[in-house]
Amino acid sequence: MFMFSVFTSLLIYLGGVYVFSSKRKHLLMVLLSLEYIVLSLFVLLIIFLAGYDYDYFFPIVFLVFSVCEGALGLSILVSMIRSHGNDFFNSFSMSLC
């Protein structure tokens, strides 16, 4: 059961990396794939910590940082949609910054 859980988590991680590398036109898809990767790493971390009977303090800190990362990503998405009207990366130029 342990190896099945590790294999499933790694498969979810690789799926998130594939979506992250293939869907680079929309910011929302990039952010969703990053959250998918973070959740698969969280599950993998919990599996390994449960296997070695360690404390679960670090996964809580990991979740706090991932929530902060998600909130920052959503704030960038909202500001991009307000200023440019969509979430395409090709619709704005970096020379305006």
Q: Assign residue 6 the CATH number of its domain.
A: 1.10.287.3510
- Smallest CA-to-CA distance from 27 within 96, 85, 67 is with 85
Q: What is the pTM of this model?
A: 0.81
Mean pLDDT over the full length of the chain: 87
Pair of tokens at residue 28: 């929302």
Beta strands in 33-74 (DSSP E): none
Assigned token pair, 79: 């500001």
In this structure, the chain runs to a length of 97
| Tally of domains within the chain | 1
Rounded to 5°, the CA angle 2-16-25 comes to 180
For 42-78, what is each residue's pLDDT tens digit? 999 998 898 888 888 889 999 999 999 999 999 988 9
Query: Domain range holding 75?
Result: 2-96
- The 10 Å Cβ neighbour count of residue 4 is 8
